[in-house]
Copies of this chain bind each other. A is one copy, B any other.
Amino acid sequence: MARTQGSHSGITGPKVREAAIRLFAENGYAAVSMRKIATEVGVQAGALYNYTPDKQTLLFDLLKGHMEELLGARAETPAPDDPARALEQFTRFHIRFHHERPEAVFISYMELRNLTPENFEVIEGLRRQYEDQLEDILRRGVASGAFDVTEPKIATMAVIAMLTGVNTWFREGGRLSLPEVEEIYWQMVRKAVMASVGSNQG
C-alpha cells in the first residue's frame, strides 16, 4: 500500500491482465471483484488501482488490447494481391490467432454486454477494421471474377463466425492437427465464395 504509483508496473501489468482474463472467462465480469483479481495476482486490492482506475477500464483495456494485438499481427503479414491467396492467408491466420488465446476470445465476445456504450463503440470500431480486411478481400475477388459473393459484408460475418467456432471443439492432441483443421476450413471457405466455373482446386 505504501508503494509509489506505478511501481512494479512492468511486472504487475501482464499479471493483472492474465488473472483478469482467466477470472472473467471462468466466472463472468459481473461476478469478479477487483479484490478477487488482486488476490489472484498476489497483491493488495489497493495496489491494483495503481494499474487500473476501475474494473470497467480493466475490461475495456483487455478487449482493446486483444483487438490491437489482432490488428497488429495482421499488419505484420500483408495480404497477397491474389484474392484467393489472401483469403487462404486470412483463414489460416484467423484460426491460429484465435486458437492461441481462447479465454481472451471468449471474453471478447461475451463481455461486450458489460462495456459502457462509449467503450463498446471503440471495440466495435476495432472489430470493424478487422472485418473490413476480410470484406476487402472478398470484394477484390468479386471484382477479379474469382469469387461469387452477392453480399460481401454478410459473407464476412459468416466466415468469421465459422472460423472462430473452431475454438468450441478443437483440442490439441486429437485425431486432426491444427494445420489439418485449417486446410479443411480453408476448402469450405474457398468453395463457399468461389465462382463456380473451373475454380475447383479441391
Question: In the complex, what residues of B have CB within 8 A of residue A113's CB?
Answer: 25-26
Residue of B with least CB distance to A197:
B200
Main secondary structure of the interface of A (DSSP, over half): helix
**Contact A161 B154, beta carbon cutoff 8 Å:** no
The contact of A157 among B169, B193, B194, by CB within 8 Å, is B169
The contact of A168 among B150, B157, B188, by CB within 8 Å, is B157
Chain copies in complex: 2
Is the CB of A52 closer than 8 A to any CB of chain B? no
Is the CB of A73 closer than 8 A to any CB of chain B? no
Cα A181 to Cα B154 with chains together (Å): 8
Is the CB of A143 closer than 8 A to any CB of chain B? no
Contact with B along A4-30 (1 / 0, CB 8 A): 000000000000000000000111111
Cα A57 to Cα B70 with chains together (Å): 39
> 9 closest A-B pairs (Cβ-Cβ)?
A161-B165, A28-B28, A30-B31, A162-B162, A192-B192, A196-B200, A31-B31, A188-B192, A27-B30
Is the CB of A110 closer than 8 A to any CB of chain B? yes
Cα A28 to Cα B109 with chains together (Å): 13
Given A151-B184, A154-B181, A194-B191, A28:B30 Cβ within 8 A: yes
